[in-house]
Amino acid sequence: MSEKKFVYADHAATTAVTESVMKAMEPYFRDNWGNPSSLHTPGRKAAAAVRDAKKTIADTLNCRETEIYFTSGGTEAINWALKGNARANRHRGRHIVSTEIEHHAVLNSIAALKSERYEATLVKPCCGDGLICPDEFERAVRPDTIQMICMLANNEIGTIEPVKELARIAHRHKADFFCDAVQAMGNIPIDLDRLGVDMLSISGHKIGAPKGIGLLYIKTGCMVSRYIDGGAQERGQRAGTENVAYIVGLAQAIKDAASASKDKAGLKQKRDRLASELHKIPFSQINGTMEQRLAGNLNMSFEFCESESLLLLLDLAGICVSAGSACTAAKDEPSHVLKAIGLPEKTIRSSIRFSLGDENTDDDIEYIISQMHKITAQIRALSPEYGKLTS
Ligand code: PLP
């Protein structure tokens, strides 16, 4: 297996636009390019496409069409939900509960709210497994808590958090619950009625739709203030001419992703083989629980190997992976998620994330395994620290 291949194992960062999404979008670039606010025939066709997309999404996620609002992606949906809900409820209190393992879109929205005199308590995962403990979450509640937040699946270590239970806790304390489902969509089934959350975010580019489209679900009755002033689009809450083709693409991607999320046994099997073979590399460890985890996610540390060196050599071998999340890859900060689960800096700085997708083959897995054995040995051969230990 020495021939160079191209293996994309970074699906948590982004995905390619699928054929079915391309096909669904194409007519809205070429033929039906009307403005949904126009009253003439092309405009009415575009408006119908937006309405149909909402219906498809609402039917797939089990909610009402009027509860779906299109955004430019996950980050915008999160900013809108957190800030809009906090501002709409400020007469009731100014305290927010969230977790240390959230995406920066959540953490930095909370930081922005702090400058508006909101306060926040961030809960740590109970232990090294990366799962949020419901009791700890509830202990953080104060009489003035108005909003509670936890992601459905973590982007770095793939942990699946007990959101249904956490949402119940929020409601017991008269707080609204926001869930970031950007990484969960397409990997685990999502039924909004059963999940019981008040607000939820989804991003298109993680599930085969283009970058620049996503949605925010706002349950009827949940108070969220208007995000963009302007025209009457999105029920007057997020103005701006709708991105019709991308909205149609998002609906197709959500439908496809929901159906793909029903069976992840094959993907899990491949991930488990990768995990057990890579674990044979000396001084390696798996980060986060292997129990409550997305089927395609594997986050591992390889001591004496800097993440950047691993990434670059893997890239030379045609293998794409990430160190931490794609959004913080440009900053030289150790991952806040791995820090929150108690890993020392040295271990964090030698960690990489494999995020496999349904199209990865058994051959891809074998290629990653053989290259990882080679590359870790190559890096360690240059490490004086490793040399001292093994001489
Ligand atoms: N939330 C999570 C868990 C993510 O992984 C990401 C993207 O990596 C986002 C939010 C942001 O989504 P977007 O890239 O659509 O802004």
CATH of the domain at 332: 3.90.1150.10
pLDDT tens digits along 163-205: 999 999 999 999 999 999 999 999 999 999 999 999 999 999 9
Interior/surface letters 115-139, b for 16+ CB within 10 angstroms, e for the rest: eeebebbbbebeeebbbbbbeebbe
Q: Return per-residue pLDDT of the chain as tens, 391 residues.
A: 557 799 999 999 999 999 999 999 999 999 999 999 999 999 999 999 999 999 999 999 999 999 999 999 999 999 999 999 999 999 999 999 999 999 999 999 999 999 999 999 999 998 889 999 999 999 999 999 999 999 999 999 999 999 999 999 999 999 999 999 999 999 999 999 999 999 999 999 999 999 999 999 999 999 999 999 999 999 999 999 999 999 999 999 999 999 999 999 999 999 999 999 999 999 999 999 999 999 999 999 999 999 999 999 999 999 999 996 555 555 668 999 999 999 999 999 999 999 999 999 999 999 999 999 999 999 999 998 898 888 7
In a domain, 2, yes or no: no
Show which of 260, 283, 300 is a domain's final residue: 260
270/370 same-domain check: yes
Can you tell me whether residue 178 is helix, strand or coil?
strand
268/166 same-domain check: no
Show which of 228, 260, 292 is a domain's final residue: 260
Residue 151 in contact with ligand 1 by CB distance below 6 A: yes
Show which of 230, 260, 290 is a domain's final residue: 260
- Residue owning the nearest CA to atom 8 of ligand 1: 13
Give CA–CA dist 276/231, Å, rounded. 55
In a domain, 303, yes or no: yes
Q: Containing domain of residue 82, as a range?
A: 19-260
In a domain, 233, yes or no: yes
Residue 73 in contact with ligand 1 by CB distance below 6 A: yes
CA of 11 to the centre of ligand 1 (A): 12
Task: Say if CB 155 and CB 325 are below 8 A apart.
Answer: yes
Mutate to test the pocket of ligand 1, among 98, 178, 183, 337 (most ligand atoms within 8 A of CB): 183
150 is catalytic: no
Residue 214 in contact with ligand 1 by CB distance below 6 A: yes
In a domain, 39, yes or no: yes
Residue 210 token pair? 């283009």
pTM: 0.96
In a domain, 253, yes or no: yes
pLDDT tens digits along 274-298: 999 999 999 999 999 999 999 999 9
Residue of 126, 133, 320, 327 marked catalytic: 327
Domain count across the chain? 2
In a domain, 307, yes or no: yes
CA of 385 to the centre of ligand 1 (A): 37
